[in-house]
Structure 1
Amino acid sequence: MNLNHYLSVEEISVSTRLQNYINGAFVAASGAGDFELTSPVTGERVALSPVSDAADVDAAFAAARIAFSSWKSVTPSERQRCLLALADKLEQHSDELVEAQHRNTGQPRRIIAAEEVAAGADQLRFFAGAARLLEGRGAAEYLEGHTSYVRREPVGVVAQITPWNFPLMMALWKIGPALAAGNTIVLKPSETTPESTLVLARLAGEVLPAGVFNVVLGDSSTGALLTDHDTPAMVAITGSVRAGQAVAASAAKSVKRTHLELGGKAPAVVFADADLHKAAELILTFGTFNAGQDCTAVTRVLVQDSVHDEFVELLATQAAKLTTGDPDDAKNDYGPLNNARHFETVRTKLQRIPDHTTVVTGGVPAEDAKGFFVQPTIITGVRQDDQLVQEETFAPVLTVQPFSTEEEAITLANGVDYALASSVWTTNQGQAMRVSRDLDFGCVWVNTHLLLVAEMPHGGFKSSGYGKDLSLYSVEEYTRVKHVMHAVD
């Protein structure tokens, strides 16, 4: 089915084949393969998405390359105007964006509206302002008789790949700073969650010149075509460590710049003097938000041994209050896992937990459950080298480990390959300062977790990748620095 526009939710049928957005228009993909989009709530097919081929990718990059020749010279104030207009359109079309994404993710609609549409519009407005705040060293005579200054320039055409856990938000985190800096974009959303990105593309096309923002649909093979292509000067991805490694290896062949925001295994370090009731409530909330499909979600609870048993009971009490699995998303605190493959991976991990562990609540999903829902799961008795501790589960699954001393807590917290996010729970200010300093993570929260603001950077260390999303740091990542020197005599 050839479409000349992106259909509304009501118009889409299970036979619909979604389209790419290239050079300001929706166009049918030339790739022959299709990917079935299924509802995580019911498991039923909702649409078909194409697997774009080399010809599709070539066309998108050609459009972006042509558009860059003029977009790079657009003034910061004009780029600001475009981003502010796009933010307004997000709010005006909130219901459409929410429904498109809900079809693909099963997330509660109120969560999409608040955490991705409304928050995304706010973040775009921040990037709109950031477009006019690029910084460099002041012009001066650093060498006698010569004046030097720094130019910050867009890197060029950028390839971007986004994940399925927060499709709209991750797209906005990518395009906001890239557009603010004057780049043009070819973006590939996750194969299981493309629809809100297509709505975003249509709205962006109403305020941006043709070719500035392009979207190609497909699976990992399409992503490889993006990273291998000669055109992009930079590849940015939010995804798994394995996906990031593949992007980095491919980009290295042509010395492309990369921006990698990868997985996490966030610890919450709970000391005995913390407000335990409040900590338990918030940690369960932050560990199960979006069904735990968040690289910053609490996944490892490290609690001082003197209050270990009490805190486990408090966590179990909070878990019993959470609701998921209802087809009516208004009744759910969080929705399903995104897709059947991920659901089966989580199921297998839960079936293979070691005998030395104890499942306090939750566990293996019911065999006859409809949709990809997992109950909040708390597991105690884990060891530091267990798979559940060392590897990202990406589900509402929390492990609990005791510690005796501050030093032991830091050792356990840092003893994984990931280093994206963490939190400290204590009423001792000195302890909070010391532990925040020693935790080897890109973000440390104190007596809270997961909260983000546009003004502050988000990104990790070690296997969690490098590069910062949000803040002025992210805009700078999409620029290159040029030194210009003038002889004054």
Structure 2
Amino acid sequence: MSENYSMTIGGEAVRAPGTFGVVDPATGEVAEQAPDASREQLDAAMAAAQAAYPAWRRDEAARRKALLAAADIMFTRSEEIGRIITLEQGKPLADATMEVVGAGVWLKYFADLELPAEVIQDDANARVEVVRRPMGVVAAITPWNFPLLLAIWKLAPALLAGNTMVLKPSPFTPLSSLKLGEVLRDVLPPGVLNVVTGGDELGAWMTSHDVPRKISFTGSVATGKRVAAAAAPDLKRVTLELGGNDPAILLDDVDPAAVAARLFGAAFQNNGQVCSAVKRVYAPASVYDDVVEALAEQARAAKVGEGTREGVQYGPINNEPQYERVGELVAEALAGGARAAAGGGPIDGPGYFFQPTILADVEDGARIVDEEQFGPALPVIRYTDLDEALARANGTHFGLSGSVWGADADRAAEVAAELECGTAWVNTHLALAPHQPFGGFKWSGVGVENGPWGLYGFTELQVIHRSKA
């Protein structure tokens, strides 16, 4: 054990009555211990956030200054915090460091984002102004695939708007969020950001707690539905980002060799553990075999290993349940007649390593096509009719994002407009940015994150009506 991690409550380092083990996915062994918060400690965190709220919401200049200072910490300590992410999440150190840098970029963006009032009437009768007010305390629950960046996606707009926060990270990746709380204690006033860690029970306590006025959650559909149900009795506002099963449709004029590397990168970034990654590829019959082989070449060349080793591109799957799920979906597809053009199973040895896998001769109806695999396995589905491919791409409860690839960009854009999803990319995928709204249709979520639209999600509208009569 290399570091003694503590929670942040009311600006202070706080231990818990007990701890739980945090597994290094590269070894499958417990590497660190994290605090296991009690119900009383959650109450204390909520009370601290509530007490900090009145002063914090009134000082916009201080909020912007604090977010800029937080961004500077992310930039200057990116490798230090990145090493923690690699330990708990498994991704290569270069990717983990860039996650921290990205957190700084998001913080800086929101620190500079305007939150203007709107004057909708100013005449002899009245001046009517619409302003956006903060909500109060926000409960944020974050996932294990991008543990720091996705915390910042919530923290930056919530705090800029004038809210305070209690943050609970995934129990698989609590360490980077605990570190975040620690490094921001000197930047944020006590109580503005509180970080507590624990298991699913702690999350249930948070969502039903009577203090938060907003819950921002990123995770599975099943848990998101439980969050929404828990929020309903108190009419808490919610933002839910619940994952996707993102299709990539290749048109018949596509050059497989030209797009293979970008398509593979969009599917296998973070070892396929990205909500909006390509999860299934629809390729026309005329180029199907070439597409499969081009992707298989990329998979066979990929370097998988422990995240601090030189040249490693992909680490392990983050946790044992997800590792077993990916293995089960791949094995079931192969048993059903699919062909592994590359990969096809686990990598021998310790840890949760899995071969980058390209599955050919697989159809809609297979679980690995119909469900979100969230791992390093990509099915490629043959089609002969574009309208049918679109119908199959849209024929799911998910609707987070998708992409269309072709030599004629205008034609590809017309097809992309038919996708039922929050973001439709043309000749690219996973092109995310802080100024661009991110959210999903159908079961992929409620509300959006990022850009002014994400900021508005942490506010309530208020009308200031001044009579001149």
State the TM bucket, normalised to the shorter chain. over 0.9
83, 102, 109: which is aligned to 1:126? 109
Instruction: For residues 59-104 of structure 1, give each alpha carbon's deviation from its aligned partner in whole angstroms, at most 9, with x where no partner exists.
Output: 00000000001111112x3211111111001111112201111110
C-alpha change, 1:379 and 1:11, in structure 2 (3 Å) is closer
Shift of residue 382, structure 1, vs aligned partner: 2.0
Could you tell me which residue of structure 2 aligns to residue 22 of structure 1? 9
Q: 1:67 and 2:52 equivalent?
A: yes
Matches within 5 A, 1:426-465: 426-465=406-445
SS in 2 for 1:393: coil
Q: 1:359 and 2:344 equivalent?
A: no
SS in 2 for 1:445: strand
C-alpha change, 1:355 and 1:202, in structure 2 (3 Å) is same
C-alpha change, 1:327 and 1:147, in structure 2 (3 Å) is closer
Instruction: For residues 455-481 of structure 1, give each alpha carbon's deviation from its aligned partner in whole angstroms, at most 9, with x where no partner exists.
Output: 111111111102211111111100000
Q: 1:413 and 2:393 equivalent?
A: yes
Distance in 1 (alpha carbons) for counterparts of 2:258 and 2:198: 43
Could you tell me which residue of structure 1 aligns to residue 270 of structure 2? 290
Distance in 2 (alpha carbons) for counterparts of 1:328 and 1:51: 28
Q: 1:55 and 2:40 equivalent?
A: yes
Matches within 5 A, 1:258-297: 258-297=238-277
SS in 2 for 1:151: strand
Distance in 2 (alpha carbons) for counterparts of 1:26 and 1:435: 53
Q: Which region of structure 1 is more displaced relative to structure 2, 41-50 or 53-62?
A: 41-50
447, 454, 457: which is aligned to 1:467? 447
Shift of residue 106, structure 1, vs aligned partner: 1.7
Q: Give the unaligned 5+ runs of structure 1.
A: 1-9
Q: Give the unaligned 5+ runs of structure 2.
A: none
Q: CA RMSD in A?
A: 1.6
**Is the contact made by 1:109 and 1:330 (CA closer than 8 Å) also made in structure 2?**
no
Q: 1:379 and 2:359 equivalent?
A: yes
Distance in 2 (alpha carbons) for counterparts of 1:430 and 1:89: 43
Identical residues among aligned pairs (%): 38
Distance in 2 (alpha carbons) for counterparts of 1:216 and 1:326: 28
SS in 2 for 1:438: coil
Shift of residue 483, structure 1, vs aligned partner: 1.2
Q: How many residues align?
A: 468
Distance in 1 (alpha carbons) for counterparts of 2:117 and 2:401: 29
Could you tell me which residue of structure 2 aligns to residue 5 of structure 1? none
Matches within 5 A, 1:278-427: 278-326=258-306, 328-353=308-333, 354-366=335-347, 368-427=348-407
Q: Which region of structure 1 is more displaced relative to structure 2, 43-52 or 291-300?
A: 43-52
1:365 maps to amino acid: P
Distance in 1 (alpha carbons) for counterparts of 2:183 and 2:305: 33
Distance in 1 (alpha carbons) for counterparts of 2:63 and 2:258: 43
Q: Which region of structure 1 is more displaced relative to structure 2, 164-173 or 282-291?
A: 282-291
SS in 2 for 1:193: coil
Matches within 5 A, 1:154-233: 154-233=134-213
Q: Which region of structure 1 is more displaced relative to structure 2, 465-474 or 321-330?
A: 321-330
57, 63, 66: which is aligned to 1:79? 63
Instruction: For residues 316-353 of structure 1, give each alpha carbon's deviation from its aligned partner in whole angstroms, at most 9, with x where no partner exists.
Output: 11111101035753232111111122212222222222
Could you tell me which residue of structure 2 aligns to residue 135 of structure 1? 116
2:398 maps to amino acid: Y
23, 33, 54: which is aligned to 1:38? 23
Give the alignment's TM-score, normalised by structure 1: 0.93
Q: Which region of structure 1 is more displaced relative to structure 2, 475-484 or 329-338?
A: 329-338
Distance in 2 (alpha carbons) for counterparts of 1:326 and 1:122: 27
**Is the contact made by 1:67 and 1:210 (CA closer than 8 Å) also made in structure 2?**
yes
Distance in 1 (alpha carbons) for counterparts of 2:340 and 2:431: 28
Could you tell me which residue of structure 1 aligns to residue 133 of structure 2? 153
Could you tell me which residue of structure 2 aligns to residue 7 of structure 1? none
Instruction: For residues 211-233 of structure 1, give each alpha carbon's deviation from its aligned partner in whole angstroms, at most 9, with x where no partner exists.
Output: 00000101111000000000000
Distance in 1 (alpha carbons) for counterparts of 2:153 and 2:44: 24
Instruction: For residues 135-179 of structure 1, give each alpha carbon's deviation from its aligned partner in whole angstroms, at most 9, with x where no partner exists.
Output: 34324148x723211121001100000000011101111101101
SS in 2 for 1:86: helix
Shift of residue 50, structure 1, vs aligned partner: 3.0
Distance in 2 (alpha carbons) for counterparts of 1:136 and 1:410: 42
C-alpha change, 1:136 and 1:407, in structure 2 (3 Å) is farther
Q: 1:113 and 2:113 equivalent?
A: no
Q: 1:101 and 2:85 equivalent?
A: yes
